[in-house]
Chain A
Amino acid sequence: MSRTLRTAVFAVGGVGFAVLLLWGFGGLPDFGDFTGHYGLYLAHHAVPQRVATEAVGVTTFDYRGIDTLGEEFILFAAAVGVLALLRLQRGEEGASAEPARESPSTGHSETLRRTASALAAPCLVLGLYVVAHGHLTPGGGFQGGVVLMSALLLVFLAGARFRRRTKPLEAMELGEASGAAGFALIGLGGILFADAYLENFLPFGDFGQLVSGGVIPLDNLAVGVEVMGATLVVLGEFLDQRFLSGGDA
C-alpha cells in the first residue's frame, strides 16, 4: 500500500474516529465537575486511616496495592524481554563483531566526567529523598527510582574506578529482582501478620513523620530499587554494555 493511499484511508477513518471520540467525550462529566465517590472516599479517609499525607501514594501502595503489584511485574517482565531480545542478538553476532565496534568512548571527555562527578551525589540524595518521602509529599518509589537510576548512570558516565572490579549490570539485575520480590513479600506479610494480602501490618506511627504510614515507605523502597534496577538494566542493554563495563583506562 502506497503512502498516499494509506494516508487517504487514514483520513477517512480518522475523521470518523474523531467524531466518535468527541461524541463519547461529550458524555463525560463537565471538566471540573467530577463526582467520583470512590476517589472522594479515598481522599477523605487516607489520612485518618493510614497516617500518610499523600493520598495518591496511599492509593497506589495501600488501597490499590494489588494493581501496583501487577504494574511492577509488567515493568519486570518488560525489562527481562528487552534483555532477552538484545542478548539474543549479541549471541547471533558472535564475538568477532565486538572489537570492530569499539569507538572512542564519550567517557574520555574531561568536561563530561567532571560534570557527571559533580552531579552524581546531589542526584543520589534527591533520589533517596523522593523515595523516602513518597508517603508524605509527591514522589515515591517509581519517581525516585528513576532519579536514582540517573544518579548511578552519572557515576558510570564519570568513569568511576569501581566498575572494573564490580559488575554493575549483574548487580542491577539482582536489584531489579529483589525489588520486585520485596514488594510481593511485603504483601505476604499482610497475610501472616494481618488479615489479607498487601494489608498493612506495621504500626502507623505519627502523622507527618518520616517513619509513618505503616508499610507504605517499605513498599516505596522496594519499588524504588526495582525501578532503578529495571531502567538501568534496559539502558545498559541498549548501550550494549560497553558503556557500563567499558574498558577505558
Chain B
Amino acid sequence: MSFLPYAVSAWLFLVGLAGVVRSRNLIHLVICLTVIQASTYVLLLAVGYKTGATAPVYADITPGRSVTDPVVATLTLTDVVVEATVVALLLALVVRAHRRFGTLDPDELHEMRG
C-alpha cells in the first residue's frame, strides 16, 4: 500500500509516453505530455507526505501538529507553471505546423523528416 502513490506516478509517466509515441494528432500529443508531467506532481507530493500530517498552513491548525513538506509543494507549484508555459509554446508551434503542412498528424509532416 505504501508503494501505491509511486506506482501511480510511474503509470502516469508510462501511459503518457505511450500516448506520445502512438499519437495521431499533435494536440493529442501535447495533452499526453501534460499527463507525463502530472506524474511528477504525484511523485513530488507523495515524497513530501507524512502519515497523519496536514497541509503546512498555520491559519487554522493547532500548534505542534505534524505538517507535510512545504518545499515539495513549492516545487510542484513551479512544475505546474512550467507545464503551462511548455503547453502554451508547444500549442503555438502546433498552430504554425498546421498552417505550414495543412495537417495535424505527426506522420504526415514529411518535410520534417531527416
Taking Cβ atoms with an 8 Å cutoff, the residues of A that contact B are: 3, 6-7, 10, 14, 17-18, 21-22, 25-26, 28-34, 36, 38-40, 42-43, 46-47, 53-56, 58-60, 64, 67-68, 71, 74-75, 77-79, 81-82, 85-86, 89, 93, 136-138, 142, 208, 231, 234, 237-238
Instruction: State which residues 8-56 of B face A: CB under 8 Å.
Output: 9-10, 13-14, 17-18, 21-22, 43, 46-52, 55-56
A56 touches B73 (CB 8 A): yes
Q: Taking CB as reference atom, which chain A residue is nearest B39?
A: A21
Which residues of B (67-114) have their CB < 8 Å from a CB of A?
67-74, 77-78, 80-82, 84-86, 88-89, 91-93, 95-96, 99, 107
Query: Can you spell out 22 A-B residue pairs with CB atoms less than 8 angstroms apart?
Result: A7-B22, A22-B6, A25-B3, A31-B2, A31-B3, A31-B46, A32-B51, A32-B52, A34-B47, A34-B50, A36-B72, A55-B67, A56-B57, A59-B71, A67-B78, A75-B85, A78-B88, A82-B92, A86-B96, A89-B95, A89-B99, A138-B57
Within 8 Å by CB of A32, from B49, B71, B86, lies B49
Contact of B96 (CB < 8 Å), options: A34, A43, A89: A89
Pick from B59, B67, B74, B91: contact of A64, CB under 8 Å: B74
**Residue pair A31, B49 in contact (C-beta under 8 Å):** yes
CA separation between A59 and B70, bound complex, in Å?
7
- Given A34, A58, A77, A85, which contacts B93 in the complex, CB threshold below 8 Å? A85
Q: A34-B47, A43-B56, A64-B74 are in contact. Are A79 and B14 (CB under 8 A)?
A: no
Most buried by A among B4, B14, B77, B88: B88
A25 to B64, alpha carbons, bound, how many Å?
30
A interface majority secondary structure: helix
Interface of B, helix, strand, loop or mixed by DSSP: helix
Whether A31 contacts B4 in the complex (CB less than 8 A), given A39-B48, A137-B59, comes out as yes
Residue of A nearest to B1 (CB): A31
Contact with A238, one of B14, B70, B72, B91 (Cβ below 8 angstroms): B91
Please tell me if the beta carbons of A25 and B71 are within 8 angstroms of each other in the complex: no
Chain A: minimal CB distance from B88 (Å): 5
Partner of B6, one of A28, A56, A93: A28
Nearest-CB residue, chain B, relative to A18 = B14
Q: How far is the CA of A58 from the CA of B81 in the complex (A)?
A: 17
